[in-house]
Amino acid sequence: MPEIDAVKKSTLREYTSSILIAVGLALFIRTTVVQAFYIPSGSMEDTLHVGDYLLANKFVYGAPIDIPLMDLTLFRLPALRDPQPGDIVIFRSPTDRDRDLIKRCVAVGGQRLEIIDKVLYVDGRPFPDPPRSKYTDPSVYLATANPRDNFGPFVVPAGHFFMMGDNRDNSADSRYFGAVPRDLVKGKAMIIYWSWESDSRGPFYTGLASLPRVAGGFLWRLPARVRYSRLGDIIL
C-alpha cells in the first residue's frame, strides 16, 4: 500500500540520518576533542602501565585535522597552549609517522638541557623526577657509548620539545631521535578509563577441540585481570 510504503521510507530515512549524524559527531569529537590510546610498552612505567587505556585531550594543543588514511595534516585548530615541561604528551614518532608515542615533555624550545650520570638538568637546574618514575639499571654509560645516561649539553630548537619516558633506563625517546617538532604533537594524556594485566597463563589454543576450554579459561580470568584501582585515574 502506498501510504505504508511512504511511512517505511520516511522511517528508514530518519534512522539513516540519525546514524550518519551520530557517526559524524563521533568522528568530530575524536578528531578535535578527545581520542583513546592504548599503552603497549613499559617506557612510561610506573606512571603508565602496559595495558592502560587512556583518553587524550587533543583540544588543548590544537587538534591536527588530518586526511583519513593519509599521512597529511590539512591544518591545526587554534591551541590553548603549547606542551609544557611536566606534561605527558602523545605525538607521532619522528622516525615512523604511522606510530604514536607517549612521553613526558621535559624541556621546550630555547631551554638548555644536559644529562649527567642519569641526572637531568634543565637550564642548569635539576629537573625533578616524576613521582612514579624509575631507574632499573645501575650501569652508567658514557655519552660516547650510549646517550641514555650522559647527554648534551643540548639547546632545544624553537618550536620543538624534548621528550623522555618516566622509565628512564628503558625508553627510546628524544635522547635517541631528537627533539619533537610542534607539528607532530597530537594531545595531552588526560585520564585512564580502562586497565588490565596481560594474560600469560594457559590453557592455550591447540585446535578446535580445545577451543571451549580456552575460551572458558579466558573469560573466567577476565575479572581478576582488571586493575580496578587505576580506573578513572587522572594522569599527572
For residue 82, what is its C-alpha cell?
A: 603549547
Catalytic residues: 43, 103
172 or 223: whose pLDDT is higher? 172
Give CA 102 to chain center in angstroms: 4
pLDDT value at 1 more than 60: no
Does 141 share its domain with 159? yes
**Does residue 70 have a pLDDT over 60?**
no
**Residue 210 included in any domain:** no
C-alpha torsion angle, residues 196, 197, 198, 204 (rounded to 10): -100
Instruction: Check whether residue 143 and residue 122 sit in a common domain.
Output: yes
Answer whether residue 27 shows pLDDT above 80: no
pLDDT, residue 200, reads 65
If asked whether residues 9 and 23 sit together in one domain, one would say yes
The answer on 89 and 111 residing in a single domain is yes
The span from the CA of 77 to the CA of 117, in Å, is 40
Task: Please tell me whether residues 64 and 155 are part of one structural domain.
Answer: yes
Q: Which three cell numbers stand for residue 116?
A: 649527567
Question: Residue 235 and residue 213: Cα distance in Å, rounded?
Answer: 38
For residue 169, being part of any structural domain is answered with yes
pLDDT surpassing 90 at residue 61: yes
- pTM exceeds cut of 0.85: no
Whether 158 contacts 149, CB under 8 Å: no
Whats the size of the chain, residue-wise? 236
Q: How many whole angstroms separate alpha carbon 41 and alpha carbon 138?
A: 21
Residues 18 and 84 in one domain: no
What's the mean per-residue pLDDT of the chain? 83
Q: Is residue 221 part of a domain?
A: no
Which structural domain, as residue segments, surrounds residue 2? 1-32
Residue 144 has pLDDT above 80, yes or no: yes
Residue 6 pLDDT level (bands cut at 50, 70, 90):
low
Asked if pLDDT for residue 46 goes beyond 50, the answer is yes
State the CATH number of the domain containing residue 61.
Answer: 2.10.109.10
* Number of folded domains that form the chain: 2
C-alpha cell at 212: 571451549
Looking at the structure, tell me whether residues 53 and 144 fall in a common domain.
Answer: yes
In a domain, 145, yes or no: yes
- pLDDT-derived band of residue 220, with 50, 70 and 90 as boundaries? low
Residue 190 placed within a domain = yes
Q: Where are the alpha helices (DSSP H) in 88-231?
A: 174-177, 211-225
